[in-house]
Amino acid sequence: MQWHAQDEVRSRSFRPCFLDITAAALGANASYSSQLLRGSDYWRTVLDGASGIDIYGHNGVSVGDIDGDGFDEIYVCQPAGLPNRLFRNRGDGTFDDITDVSGTGVLENTACALIADINNDGQQDLIVVRTNGPLLFLNHGG
């Protein structure tokens, strides 16, 4: 196998290539307006002031089809004190917050996560990378 770099590609359009549909997709969830909509700068300020710790996190997002319906779910990693969020894709361009039902609302500082079939059972599992080590959630369906 060989790899090679492609030449630079430029769009001839003056319109954005990607549209921001975040509010349309997640807006019906209370956790979107109370946590995610505020942005990480807001929470860094609040958490820095409350804890006295400089929270300069690089928190990520992971995407994968955890329920096997052909639509990717979104797992949002957050700074310590805010629960990570798992959003189930409804297939119509909107998402439901299933964090509490799934038990994936990790409160520790989470840098990133990976959705992959770890135990080779055909279901996508979740690995969460926390400050004090990785955490594995095995998907048992349902």
pLDDT at 131: 83
pLDDT at 115: 96
Q: Taking a C-beta distance cutoff of 8 angstroms, is the pair 110, 71 a contact? A: no
Report the SS3 class of residue 25.
Answer: helix
Q: Which of 33-37, 44-48, 59-63, 78-82 has the lowest mean pLDDT?
A: 44-48
SS3 content of the chain, % helix, strand, coil (to 5): 20, 25, 55
Cα–Cα distance for residue pair 54/91, rounded to 1 Å: 39
Cα–Cα distance for residue pair 30/133, rounded to 1 Å: 29
**Token couple for 125:** 């599992």
Residues in the chain: 142
Quick one: how far is CA 65 from the chain centroid? 13
pLDDT at 91: 93
Return the DSSP state at 8.
Answer: P
pLDDT at 105: 93
Give the residue, 134 or 3, on which the prediction is more confident: 134
What is the pLDDT of the chain when averaged over all its residues? 81
Helix (H) or strand (E) segment spanning residue 38? none
Cα–Cα distance for residue pair 12/2, rounded to 1 Å: 30
